[in-house]
Amino acid sequence: MSTFRIMVAAAGLIAAPLPAQVSAQSRPEPSPFDRDRVAVGAGLAVIPDYEGSDHYSPVAAPAAIGSVEGHSFVLAGNQLSIDLLRDRPGPGWRFQGGPVAQVNLNRSTLSGLHDPRVRALGALGTAIELGGYVGVQKTGVVTSPYDTLSLTLSYRHDVAGIHDAGLWQPGLTYFTPLSLHMAVAFTAAVDMAEDRYARTYYSVSPAQSLRSGLPVYDAKGGIKNWTIGLVGVRTLHGDLLHGLHLVALGTFGGMTGSIGDSPIVAQAGSRQQWLGALGLAYSF
């Protein structure tokens, strides 16, 4: 399951709050966020042992988000993205685009794999996925001149020779500020994997079948999974412009297609996947 979109949404709640006194009927005012800003944080997340696992383990998840000279960046766990297109303040449409880099740790080592059948398949190593994304965002959608709806499309390709394939991810995020002390976001995304990705992570060769007891299987590319999520931020000290915040998030999704039918998922794991996290962040 891809967790990047939900992590970005969590960070974005801190990066883009707006004045609570501004209502949908009032005239838009300049946001105090039309300046350089940074938020950093860390939390404890509960995630599946691998994409498609039915066993979950806690992990630490760092995050940072900021905007410098109108250019935004996001570090969310194992992924970094940079928006090379300058932000335009106020309601209206704007375009987004820039590079994305991700460290893919899916079954990279045997440690942390609870199921002995999956451990018997062997470790795969760490994939380094580089690519980019484009998107369009509308500010001032439903609740106020400051809520946002974003549509994005990203592509990443492994350059480390682990799966040597690409992944596409169209996604949607809706964000709305509730006050200077609280905000929420809703997200949805679909991950689409190329054939070599599916074969690397979800096929079972005859030799692997003998070692693990799982049936031989030849996985194909296609839609890998879908994910929906909810994120909330509440200020503990100060406000969302400058202070300490509690961040909570959760996602639910499903593995689909040939990948969802793989015995690594359907027999050793589960098609249904979820993620939960709780953390602290500080903005300045």
Q: What digits encode the pLDDT tens for the residues 4-41? A: 445 555 555 555 544 433 333 344 444 444 567 788 98
* More confident of the two residues 162 and 72: 162
95 burial type by CB count under 10 A (0-12 exposed, 13-18 middle, 19+ buried): exposed
DSSP state of 145: T
From 264, 172, 200, 188, select the one nearest 225 (Cα to Cα): 188
From 196, 207, 182, 199, select the one nearest 264 (Cα to Cα): 199
What confidence score (pLDDT) does residue 10 get? 52
pLDDT above 90 coverage of the chain, percent: 65
280 near 43, Cβ under 8 Å?
Answer: yes
Q: What is the average pLDDT value for the chain, to the nearest integer? A: 87
Q: What digits encode the pLDDT tens for the residues 254-277? A: 999 999 999 999 999 999 999 999
Mean pLDDT of 126-133: 98
Residues 211 and 200: their CA atoms lie apart, in Å, by 17
* More confident of the two residues 144 and 221: 221
What confidence score (pLDDT) does residue 276 get? 93
Residues 243 and 10: their CA atoms lie apart, in Å, by 15
| Residue with the two structure tokens 């929906």 | 228
Q: What is the distance, to the nearest Å, from the Cα of residue 24 to the centroid of all Cα atoms in its chain?
A: 29
What's the token pair of residue 33?
């966020």
What's the token pair of residue 273?
């996947």
Q: What is the distance, to the nearest Å, from the Cα of residue 166 to the centroid of all Cα atoms in its chain?
A: 17
Q: What digits encode the pLDDT tens for the residues 135-194? A: 999 988 987 787 899 999 999 999 999 999 999 999 999 999 888 899 999 999 999 999
What is the domain partition of the chain in residue ranges?
A: 4-15+40-283
The class that CATH gives domain 4-15+40-283 is: mainly beta
230 burial type by CB count under 10 A (0-12 exposed, 13-18 middle, 19+ buried): middle
Helix (H) or strand (E) holding 130: strand 127-139
